[in-house]
């Protein structure tokens, strides 16, 4: 595989001791400022399901953190105080430092395991899966907080690709413009819907160990931006007809992903809330069978895969490498849907059997 086939390989050539030190400072400043923002920026509070017998309350100021970070980066770029292209040139160094941070944080949480008498047995399970369900530092829930550097970091990396393309060629391609719009809307909407995260499986039931930490600080920001690398120097223009088709795919996926999640959250808050203009229907008041949830059991996952496929289709078909992202996500969410099925069957028993007979398909109506 040549460098042109895999543009990330070029980033390794710029790796040096100085770049690693600079990356360490950048990462520390970035995470530190977001942590302070989580502590002090205003925002409403939302209650989540009880964890380990205790009610949890979360401050929803992630949207403010995201908008401040992106505005500050944009102003710094416009006025020449700082160029986001440094994220592109320091990508590998930042990747190495993020890995170090993830292992250090996991080790620190493992060292706190003595405070958690019901932690799973064994070093591997405690380090990898986590000893604590809901660790906090200075009043900040670390699991809830870690979505912020994860997704804001992803948004900044994506923006850096546009900056590099413009600084190199003096323009932005249609594919890059669409990619920037799609990814910005996706991250912005996450923080608009931050209240919905208080009921997710990861937040409610997963312990916070290396698996989630590495996913937040390394996998999402450094792997989920993969299509952006190909767009920086992409030479083939995106045909307007193909661009329109990609926009439709993104719109459909976004409607499916966000619509399904919003319906579920609305039902949990009010079982009689209207869905698609009619009162919600359910089985025994527990399992929603209206809207998207009367068509498929995990259509929110299907919508998210469509969103990431739209991201990737902006790169065209000159390389298979960007398609690792939607392929990975399809495997991840397909596995998660099966894990959800097992958990729901254990939780609801016979009621879940009635639900699966009523809603026959999981992620693809009439297929799967």
Determine phi and psi for 320, rounding to 5 degrees.
Answer: -85, -15
Going from the C-alpha of 354 to that of each of 41, 267, 345, the distances in angstroms are: 46, 19, 10
- What CA–CA distance (Å, rounded) separates 301 from 336? 9
Residue 125 forms part of a structural domain: yes
Same-domain pairing of 64 and 212: yes
Same-domain pairing of 354 and 304: yes
Instruction: Specify the range with the lowest mean pLDDT, choosing from 87-101, 193-207, 260-274, 283-297.
Output: 193-207
User: Which secondary-structure segment (H or E) carries 42?
Assistant: none
Residue 51 forms part of a structural domain: no
Instruction: Please report the pLDDT score of residue 5 as a whole number.
Output: 52
Of 234, 249, 276, which residue constitutes the final position of a domain? 234
Same-domain pairing of 197 and 252: no
CB 227 within 8 A of CB 179: yes
String of DSSP letters for 178-189? HHHHHHHHHHHH
The two tokens of residue 293 are 């949830």
Average pLDDT, stretch 172-188? 96
Same-domain pairing of 244 and 362: yes
Same-domain pairing of 346 and 258: yes
Average pLDDT, stretch 172-201? 92
Same-domain pairing of 195 and 267: no
Closest by CA to 254, choosing from 311, 216, 316, is 311
Residue 340 confidence class, pLDDT cut points 50, 70, 90 = confident
Please give the tally of structural domains in the chain: 2
Diameter of the chain by CA atoms? 63
Q: Does residue 14 surpass a pLDDT of 70?
A: no
Same-domain pairing of 141 and 72: yes
Same-domain pairing of 69 and 193: yes
Does residue 153 or residue 265 have the better pLDDT? 153
User: Which secondary-structure segment (H or E) carries 141?
Assistant: strand 140-141
Residue 247 forms part of a structural domain: yes
Average pLDDT, stretch 292-296? 92
Same-domain pairing of 67 and 180: yes
Residue 4 forms part of a structural domain: no
- The fraction of the chain above a pLDDT of 90, given in percent, is 58
Of 205, 234, 263, which residue constitutes the final position of a domain? 234
Q: Does residue 259 surpass a pLDDT of 80?
A: yes
Instruction: Please report the pLDDT score of residue 112 as a whole number.
Output: 80
Residue 281 forms part of a structural domain: yes
Of 189, 211, 234, which residue constitutes the final position of a domain? 234
Same-domain pairing of 38 and 144: yes
Instruction: Specify the range with the lowest mean pLDDT, choosing from 31-45, 191-205, 259-273, 313-327.
Output: 191-205
CB 263 within 8 A of CB 297: no
Per residue in 21-77, pLDDT (tens digit) is 999 999 999 999 999 999 999 989 887 665 555 667 889 999 999 999 999 999 999
- What CA–CA distance (Å, rounded) separates 23 from 244? 38
Same-domain pairing of 198 and 249: no
- What CA–CA distance (Å, rounded) separates 165 from 223? 19
Residue 286 forms part of a structural domain: yes
Per residue in 282-292, pLDDT (tens digit) is 888 888 888 99
Same-domain pairing of 42 and 115: yes
Average pLDDT, stretch 168-196? 94
Residues 208, 105, 93, CA angle at the centre, nearest 5°?
125
Instruction: Please report the pLDDT score of residue 117 as a whole number.
Output: 61
String of DSSP letters for 270-336? -TT-EETTEE--EETTTEE-SGGGGTBSSHHHHHHHHHHHHHHHTTTTS-SGGGHHHHHHHHHHHHH
Average pLDDT, stretch 198-211? 82
Determine phi and psi for 26, rounding to 5 degrees.
Answer: -65, -45
The two tokens of residue 64 are 């403010």
- What CA–CA distance (Å, rounded) separates 259 from 181? 19
3-state secondary structure of 131: coil
- What CA–CA distance (Å, rounded) separates 186 from 188? 6
Per residue in 102-145, pLDDT (tens digit) is 999 999 998 887 555 666 677 777 888 887 888 889 989 999 99
- What CA–CA distance (Å, rounded) separates 332 from 64? 30
Residue 362 forms part of a structural domain: yes
Does residue 327 or residue 271 have the better pLDDT? 327
Range of the domain at 15: 9-46+58-234
Residue 53 forms part of a structural domain: no
Average pLDDT, stretch 324-331? 94
Residue 1 confidence class, pLDDT cut points 50, 70, 90 = very low
Instruction: Please report the pLDDT score of residue 4 as a whole number.
Output: 47
């Amino acid at each position: 595989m040549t460098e042109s086939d895999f543009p990330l390989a070029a980033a390794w050539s710029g790796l040096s001791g100085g770049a690693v030190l600079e990356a360490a400072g950048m990462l520390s400043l970035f995470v530190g400022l977001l942590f302070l923002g989580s502590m002090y920026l205003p925002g409403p509070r939302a209650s989540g399901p009880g964890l380990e017998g205790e009610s949890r309350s979360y401050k929803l100021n992630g949207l403010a953190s995201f908008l401040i970070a992106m505005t500050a980066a944009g102003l710094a770029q416009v006025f020449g105080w700082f160029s986001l292209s440094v994220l592109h040139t320091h990508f590998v160094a930042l990747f190495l430092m993020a890995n170090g941070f993830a292992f250090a944080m996991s080790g620190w949480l493992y060292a706190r395991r003595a405070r958690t008498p019901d932690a799973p047995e064994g070093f591997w399970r405690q380090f990898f899966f986590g000893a604590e369900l809901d660790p906090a530092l200075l009043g900040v829930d670390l699991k809830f907080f870690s979505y912020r550097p994860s997704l804001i970091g992803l948004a900044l990396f994506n923006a850096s690709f546009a900056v590099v393309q413009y600084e190199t060629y003096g323009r932005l391609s249609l594919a890059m413009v669409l990619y920037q719009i799609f990814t910005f809307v996706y991250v912005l909407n996450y923080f608009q819907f931050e209240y919905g995260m208080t009921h997710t499986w990861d937040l409610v039931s997963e312990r916070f160990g290396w698996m989630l930490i590495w996913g937040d600080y390394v996998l999402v920001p450094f792997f989920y931006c993969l299509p952006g690398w190909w767009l920086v120097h992409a030479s083939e223009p995106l045909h307007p007809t193909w661009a329109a088709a990609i926009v439709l795919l993104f719109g459909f996926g976004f409607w499916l992903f966000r619509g399904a999640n919003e319906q579920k959250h609305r039902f949990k808050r009010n079982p009689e809330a209207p869905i698609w203009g009619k009162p919600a229907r359910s089985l025994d008041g527990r399992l929603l069978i209206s809207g998207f949830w009367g068509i498929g059991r995990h259509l929110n996952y299907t919508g998210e895969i469509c969103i990431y496929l739209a991201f990737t289709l902006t790169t065209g078909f000159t390389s298979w490498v960007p398609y690792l992202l939607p392929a990975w996500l399809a495997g991840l969410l397909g596995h998660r849907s099966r894990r959800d099925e097992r958990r729901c069957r254990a939780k609801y028993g016979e009621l879940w059997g009635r639900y699966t007979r009523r809603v026959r398909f999981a992620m693809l109506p009439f297929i799967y």
